[in-house]
Structure 1
Amino acid sequence: MAVDLSALNPRKGPRPATTGMEIPHDQLEAFSPPEIRAELVARGSALPGVYTSRSLVSEPSSLALRLPREDREFEAFLHPSVDEFGHIHRSGFMHLTVPVDAIPALTELGWTEPHPITRRAEFPDSIVMLYAPRDEEELDVATTVLQASYEQAVR
């Protein structure tokens, strides 16, 4: 089932402050309440075939969303990992891959910003920061974007 990410409602309020084009790429405010982050983790973990562990491409407290894959699309995974398509930071924001054609709409609607590492040729253009969901409505949007990332990874 393909997810139409351009049909999402705009994110309410101003974008949260982030480190912008700096690495590490962090969200600096407007974090997820613990129960919202816990539910985001539960929803990501419940996707068929997904297993979680400490991220190998981010800070140790980030929870990686992994798929056991031997063949993978370049745009669908966080490099240099061979199986991590996204990770959830302890404050609730995510770094994940999304379909490249959806990035302009997600950015315009206020949900994402490109990861600065995408400026490097050896990394895919599909990596974004999805801002931390602050309530149930935003959790549903984050879940929809996560579903699109998952669908791209399992193709």
Structure 2
Amino acid sequence: MSVDLTTLPARKGTRPATTGREIPHDQLEDFSPPEVRAGLVARAKQLPGVYVSPSLVSEPSSMALRLAREDRRFEAFLHPSVDEFGHIHRSGFMHLTVPVTSLEALTDLGWIEPHPITRRPEFPNSIVMLYAPRDLAELEVAATIMRASYEQAAE
């Protein structure tokens, strides 16, 4: 399905408040309604070979997206995990990896911000926060970005 993430529509409105450069990196407002988050979870569970469980790199209430790989690419997974390429928080925002070629466009379009952990050299700069989708149209965009993250991990 390889999609050009640079052609996605811009996110409407202002960016949600987040903890910014602090860890834990949390979105503080503008959360997903329960049915939209449920749709995001359902899309994650449909990705081939993906299994879900509590995150080992975030709060345990976050649902990890895991893909068993023996030859994993450094920029495709959340470290120090060996199989988690993203996770969905209870309020609907995600931490995941995205192709580095799309970082600038996704930031400019208002969908993501870099995870502060990427300031450390032992972590890839592909780790981002994807803001919580607020409606069905934003769910489609979030699912597309999640799919690109999955494809990067599955390569």
The residue that corresponds to 1:59 in the other structure is: 59
Q: Partner of 1:85 in structure 2?
A: 85
Q: Deviation above 3 Å: which 4+ runs of structure 1?
A: none
- d(CA) in 2 for partners of 1:138, 1:51: 23
Equivalent residues in 2 for 1:30-49, closer than 5 Å: 30-49=30-49
Written as runs of structure 1 = structure 2, the 5 A alignment for 1:53-132 is 53-132=53-132
Instruction: Give the number of aligned pairs.
Output: 155
Q: Secondary structure at the match of 1:59?
A: coil
Q: Give the distance between the partners of 2:124 and 2:15, measured in 1 at CA.
A: 24
Q: In structure 2, how many angstroms separate the alpha carbons of the residues matched to 1:137 and 1:65? A: 22
Structure 2: state its 5+ residue gaps.
Answer: none
Offset at 1:3? 1.1
| AA matched with 1:63 | M
Q: Which residue type is aligned with residue 30 of structure 1?
A: D
Q: Give the alignment's TM-score, normalised by structure 1.
A: 0.99
Q: CA RMSD in A?
A: 0.5
The residue aligned with 1:154 is 154
Q: TM-score, normalised by structure 2?
A: 0.99
